[in-house]
């Protein structure tokens, strides 16, 4: 990331969600704030999506990962979880659409420059910052996010739900495992949902591989190169060793099938995967 500048990949992901509203009517993921938070950039994102049909697979995956994560978060909140952490929040709008029960806190964790740009865009769109949102600056390569949260009122004794969407691929393996270890070390009843990239060699569809290489080139040029790929069995073994007792890992097409049985919107064999991991609740 360029020092002091907001994340260009955060803008890209938000652009895909906005285009999903415009081009697919929010079929997988309805987000009434996806266009407003982009302001003047929304139309450019839609035009780009129309002009580059190969972007559809990534757009639908980004919509699906938000849907999967938000469904999981709502289920956790319904069970009584009152701390939600959005790691690498970018221009995600979950917190601003949430009708939060009393005492619920949503901690948005990101680089300060990206947070400042988000808050500027929210203000421009006249979206109020709800009282349940707490902004926490953190660099995952330098600091364990739980330590950064402690100063912001996060209660380690209470269970939490953690979003981590579109971030792991941009970090080192060390930073990813350090954050996962920090979640696993909390007292129990934690749940984290994240996406990750399986190695490009596992992408068996040529068009999907080309789309992946194209994305890798673009994000590197924007100063946010892809760094971490994971081998699913090795990742699961690590999660188990850290103390996660429940692991659900889905390919993009499996997440799609959950919300639209019979419809195959994403290319088979693309390397993006969704993972939900939880630790056992304390007795």
Ligand X SMILES: C[S@@+](CC[C@H](N)C(=O)[O-])C[C@H]1O[C@@H](n2cnc3c(N)ncnc32)[C@H](O)[C@@H]1O
Residues that bind ligand X (CB under 6 A): 7, 9-10, 13-14, 88-92, 110-111, 114, 138-141, 165-167, 170-171
Q: How far is the CB of 37 from ligand X (least distance, A)?
A: 10
User: What is the spatial distance between Cα 34 and Cα 14, in angstroms, rounded to a whole number?
Assistant: 7
Q: How far is the CB of 17 from ligand X (least distance, A)?
A: 7
Q: How far is the CB of 147 from ligand X (least distance, A)?
A: 13
Among 62, 123, 136, 131, which Cα is nearest to 99's?
A: 131
**Measured from the CB atom, is 26 or 243 closer to ligand X?**
26
**Measured from the CB atom, is 28 or 189 closer to ligand X?**
28
Parallel, antiparallel or unpaired: strands 83-87 and 105-110: parallel
CA distances from 20 to 15, 145, 268, 270 (A): 8, 31, 20, 19
**Measured from the CB atom, is 64 or 77 closer to ligand X?**
64
User: What is the spatial distance between Cα 196 and Cα 274, in angstroms, rounded to a whole number?
Assistant: 7
Q: How far is the CB of 271 from ligand X (least distance, A)?
A: 15
Q: How far is the CB of 69 from ligand X (least distance, A)?
A: 9
- Long-range pairs for 51-54: beta carbons < 8 A, 24 or more residues apart: 54/207, 54/210, 54/211, 54/214
Strand, helix or coil at 19?
A: helix
Parallel, antiparallel or unpaired: strands 272-278 and 246-251: antiparallel
**Measured from the CB atom, is 114 or 279 closer to ligand X?**
114
Q: Which two tokens stand for residue 215?
A: 């994305």
User: What is the spatial distance between Cα 29 and Cα 96, in angstroms, rounded to a whole number?
Assistant: 15
Q: How far is the CB of 278 from ligand X (least distance, A)?
A: 20
**Measured from the CB atom, is 47 or 139 closer to ligand X?**
139
**Measured from the CB atom, is 82 or 111 closer to ligand X?**
111
For ligand X, the nearest residue by Cβ is: 90
């Amino acid at each position: 990331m360029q020092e002091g500048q907001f994340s260009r990949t955060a803008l890209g992901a938000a652009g895909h969600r906005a285009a999903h509203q415009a081009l697919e009517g929010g079929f997988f993921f309805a987000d009434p704030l996806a266009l407003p938070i982009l302001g003047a950039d929304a139309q450019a994102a839609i035009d780009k999506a129309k002009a580059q049909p190969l972007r559809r697979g990534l757009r639908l995956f980004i919509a699906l990962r938000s849907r999967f994560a938000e469904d999981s978060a709502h289920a956790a909140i319904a069970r009584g979880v009152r701390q939600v952490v959005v790691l690498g929040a970018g221009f995600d709008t979950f917190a601003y659409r949430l009708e939060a029960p009393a005492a619920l806190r949503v901690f948005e964790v990101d680089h300060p420059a990206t947070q400042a740009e988000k808050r500027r865009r929210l203000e421009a769109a006249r979206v109020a910052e709800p009282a349940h949102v707490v902004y926490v600056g953190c660099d995952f390569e330098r600091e364990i996010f739980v330590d950064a949260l402690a100063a912001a009122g996060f209660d380690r004794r209470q269970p939490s739900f953690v979003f981590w969407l579109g971030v792991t691929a941009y970090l080192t393996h060390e930073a990813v495992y350090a954050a996962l270890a920090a979640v696993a070390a909390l007292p129990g009843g934690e749940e984290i949902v994240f996406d990750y990239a399986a190695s490009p060699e596992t992408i068996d569809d040529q068009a999907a591989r080309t789309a992946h290489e194209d994305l890798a080139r673009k994000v590197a040029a924007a100063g946010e190169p892809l760094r971490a790929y994971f081998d699913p069995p090795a990742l699961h073994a690590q999660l188990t060793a850290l103390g996660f007792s429940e692991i659900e890992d889905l390919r993009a097409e499996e997440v799609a099938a959950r919300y639209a049985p019979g419809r195959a919107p994403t290319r088979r064999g693309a390397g993006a995967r969704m993972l939900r991991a939880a630790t056992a609740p304390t007795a």
